Amino acid sequence: MEWLDNLALGFSVALSWQSLSYALIGCLVGTLIGILPGLGPVPTIAMLLPVTYGLPPTAALIMLASIYYGAQYGGSTTAILLKLPGESSSAVTVIDGHAMARKGRAGAALAAAAIGSFVAGSVGILLLAGLAIPLTEVAFRFGPAEYFSLMLLGLVGSIALSPDSIDKSLGLMVIGLLLSLVGTDINSGAVRFAAGAADLMDGIEMTALAMGVFGIAEIAANLETRKASQSPVALAKVSGLWPSRIELRRMAPAIARGTAIGSLLGVLPGAGVTIASFAAYTLEKKFSRHAHEMGSGAIEGVAGPESANNAAAQTNFVSLLTLGIPGSPTMALMLGAMVIHNIQPGPQVISSHPEIFWGLIASMWIGNLMLLVLNLPLVGVWVKLLSVPYRFLFPAILVFCSVGAFSVRGSIFDVYLLAAFGVFGYGLVKLALSPVPLLLGFVLGPMLEASFRRTLMVSGGDFSVFFTRSLSLALLALALALVIVAILPGIRNRRAVALAE
């Protein structure tokens, strides 16, 4: 009954006019950035973080979460109609989705993507709600040593599952950790690594770093790969927005399998929605009764991946909301938004801010329903936005980023930092390196340091406390096992092949 009472509280918050308005705004923005190639939830949320400063905490988190899972819906639209995935998680949807569109079944493919996304998203939300209280009760048993070990495990897990080599991911994570140390030490009051710059006494602003390495770098990379005067695109004809009875029967098991694997991979740190969608497609190729049709317009090739990426988008929130550990770059930005609004991430969120916790969970279901209602009727409108020349789009984004970076602390120095991190992020793009470990290291760095120092203060400087506490030792052993698995030559080669697929 407590679970139902909590959901009732959540829906009372989520159904308020303010929450509904920001959920709708987030869904619309998320769909838009999912459709437009080159944008994505990470740079968009990074750019919108300054906007959330003036919003109530619940409204801010609801809007950012809506943008995240809304992008998964939007990415499938252009993948099916234009063979142009707006999101990396929709790249695999192109294969069978566009083949269906060429056969005149674009409407059925869009409906399969929308229905699969809604069903999987709903299941993911139920899992999030069901796992919240048990995981929180476990987390309340954590001391500083266990929190340090848990965050270390999260960082190691994200590196082990990164598509880049272990040494490069580790190097970027260490850079992120070092950048997080810049500023005034909260314990001693000493200024660290500021190089005499008064503007760095308060540390490096997270929004400047996130907007630089994701937003600015993404714009620079897009200007290389597309013409600024983008020409209008040809929209496939959409007719009959409902699958046939046979297609519905074929969709059902694919949605179930995609939901299962997406829910599982969404909980794992570093796995994310893209890996979930590709894993679901591989699963359909092996277990579908119509595997021989995969690649030539099988509806399973649309329903499975789209279900997986939306289930993963919901269960991504599990470790963030219950343990305070972000499992993806988007969740790292969500954690930053929580800190901005003075919400201490971790198990105390559910007891200290139950209206925010359960209101966010309930709003996810409402947001998924909004997306289901909005996306199919507005297909033509969304795709026509692709005809907007990029020369109009990228200057507006640059101005928005610059104003956002300045508005956080009212400092022009943050705009310089934005430009510097933009150049750094562009360098990572040219080197084909993911900035995710850098962001996770930067966001988790202060909490990792605080837990480490608090543990040593309690133990009187005795490092053995990390190994004598059984739960801390188990988490460290698991982190070590991930490192060993990741660096063993045979396993590393198989990992590289799997990620390449």
Tell me the pLDDT tens digit for each residue of 75-114.
777 777 766 665 666 767 877 887 888 787 777 888 888 8
| Residues contacting residue 215 through CB under 8 Å, at least 6 positions apart | 43, 46, 47, 397, 401, 422
Weakest mean pLDDT among 262-276, 287-301, 486-500:
486-500
Per the CB < 8 A criterion, the answer to whether 359 and 19 are in contact is yes
Mean pLDDT in the chain? 77
435: exposed, middle or buried (C-beta count within 10 Å: 0-12, 13-18, 19+)?
buried
218: which 2 tokens? Answer: 């993404």
Which range is most confident: 65-79, 174-188, 289-303? 174-188
Q: Tell me the per-residue pLDDT of 335-359, one tens digit each, with 9 for 90 and over.
A: 878 877 888 776 677 777 888 888 8
Left (φ > 0), alpha (ψ -120 to 50) or beta: where does 83 sit? left
Percentage of the chain with pLDDT > 70? Answer: 83
Largest Cα–Cα separation, the chain = 71
Contact predicate 67/31, CB 8 Å: no
Q: What is the pTM of this model?
A: 0.69
Q: Is the pLDDT of residue 301 over 50?
A: yes
Cβ neighbours of 294 (radius 10 Å): 20
What span, in angstroms and rounded, lies between the C-alpha atoms of 333 and 126? 23
Q: Give the orientation angle of helix 470-487 with respect to helix 166-180, to 10 degrees.
A: 140
Instruction: Between 435 and 88, name the one with better pLDDT.
Output: 435
What is the residue range of 122's domain? 1-499
Helix axes 144-160, 436-459, angle to 10 degrees: 160
Cα gap 135→323, rounded to integer Å: 8
d(CA 282, CA 305): 9
- pLDDT band at residue 424 under the 50/70/90 scheme: very high
How many domains are there within the chain? 1
**Bridge partners (DSSP) listed for residue 337:** none
Q: Quote the CA–CA distance of 4 and 221 in Å, as a whole number.
A: 48
Is the separation of the CB atoms in 328 and 162 below 8 Å? Answer: no
Residue 289 three-state SS: coil
CA distance 137 to 348: 10
DSSP at 296: S
Which residues have CB under 8 Å from 16's CB, separation 6+? Answer: none
Task: Read off the amino acid at residue 452.
Answer: F
DSSP secondary structure, 180-235, as one string: HT-EE-TTT--EES-TT-GGGTT---HHHHHIIIIIIHHHHHHHHHS-SSPPPPPP
How would you classify residue 77: left for phi > 0, otherwise alpha for psi between -120 and 50, otherwise beta? alpha
